Amino acid sequence: MGRYVLRRLLQMIPVFVGATLLIFLMVNVMGDPIAGLCGDRQCDPGTAARLRKEFGLDKPVWQQYLTYMGNVFTGDFGTAFNGQPVTELMGSAFPVTIRLTIVAVLFEIVIGITLGVVTGLRRGRPVDTTVLLVTLVVISVPTFVTGLLLQLLLGVEWAWIRPSVSPEAPFEELIVPGLVLASVSLAYVTRLTRTSIAENKRSDYVRTAVAKGLPRHRVVTRHLLRNSLIPVVTFIGTDIGALMGGAIVTERIFNIHGVGYQLYQGILRQNTQTVVGFVTVLVLVFLVANLLVDLLYAVLDPRIRYA
């Protein structure tokens, strides 16, 4: 196991370098960030030259990237164009988005897997058909429509929740935004769990467990569910990074100042340091989540062993 983890960590290095390089190049071709600092009017040539030198934009792109990566390994993600260190923006944004992601993942695990198990065990029955239709509708409706509809009904018409989340963003205020963020993924988790349960239900090891006279709940939890969760865990593990980086729409609707909000502001103002810094951390989240998912396989299926 130790050698496997070490090998995976070494494999993550070129992936991290390649992903950050691609992001750095893509962000730098979005436009001239100095022009965005001056607003609608064109920058004075002397001011533009001074700003480019101050932020290191007068150097070649490859040299800018090497300088940035060298600073990243020392914990320095640069300075935003407003003079605020990017690490300070991360310190205020990531805790909020992490709480929002936790709520969303809990919805996926509790509701998605439960519905998937129920429909998988009752395939072809009315409850199965109903859940399939509902999940299809959820997948078809864009997230911003779901968010605006719930905000209008629950926040404005019925006043059950606050229409916008407070700056502290406690867990109780993130329940509805978390449900909106997880809605599409929850539907996919339900359908994926249902398919996996229905397929493994016909496996030989399940029929053997039933023939031995084991209780139904033990057959479902210890034999059927554990093996069926492998593709579901893979999806949820990769979805964690997608939820954190893809929360722009949800955070804009509910006025949540998290990672999505900062990325939106960075792209809008062409603040390359902010965008690259936040996306670099999200790349690390993706890599760590994938590693944890691979290690969790051995827990779910004892037949899987890592030399």
My answer on whether 233 and 294 are in the same domain is yes
267 and 204 housed in the same domain:
yes
Given a contact cutoff of 8 angstroms between Cβ atoms, the answer to whether 16 and 287 are in contact is yes
**196 and 258 housed in the same domain:** yes
Q: How do residues 82-97 score in pLDDT, each as one tens digit?
A: 777 888 888 888 999 9
The reported pTM is: 0.83
Domain final position from 74, 105, 122:
74
> For residue range 250-269, what is the model confidence (pLDDT) as tens digits?
888 898 888 888 888 887 77
Q: What is the pLDDT of residues 1-29, one digit of tens each?
A: 677 778 878 888 888 888 888 888 877 77
Closest CA to 8 of 297, 204, 233, 299: 297
Amino acid at 86: V
Structure tokens at 47: 């001011």
Question: Are 259 and 245 spatial neighbours (Cβ–Cβ below 8 Å)?
Answer: yes
To the nearest 10 degrees (0 to 180), the angle between helices 86-107 and 175-200 is: 50
- Asked if residue 107 and residue 19 are part of one domain, the reply reads no
Residue 236 belongs to what domain range?
90-300
Query: Do residue 19 and residue 95 come from a single domain?
Result: no
Query: How many independent structural domains does the chain possess?
Result: 2
Nearest Cα to 24, choosing from 258, 277, 295? Answer: 277
> Per the domain annotation, does 307 fall within a domain?
no
Residues of the chain with pLDDT under 50: none
**Residue 79 within a domain:** no
Structural domain contains residue 84: no
Q: Is 9 in the same domain as 158?
A: no
- Which pair of structure tokens corresponds to residue 226? 């554990």
- Whether residue 3 lies inside any domain: the answer is yes
Please report, for the domain that includes residue 174, its CATH number: 1.10.3720.10
Structure tokens at 167: 């700056």
Structural tokens at position 137: 């509708």
User: Cβ distance 218 to 232 under 8 Å?
Assistant: no
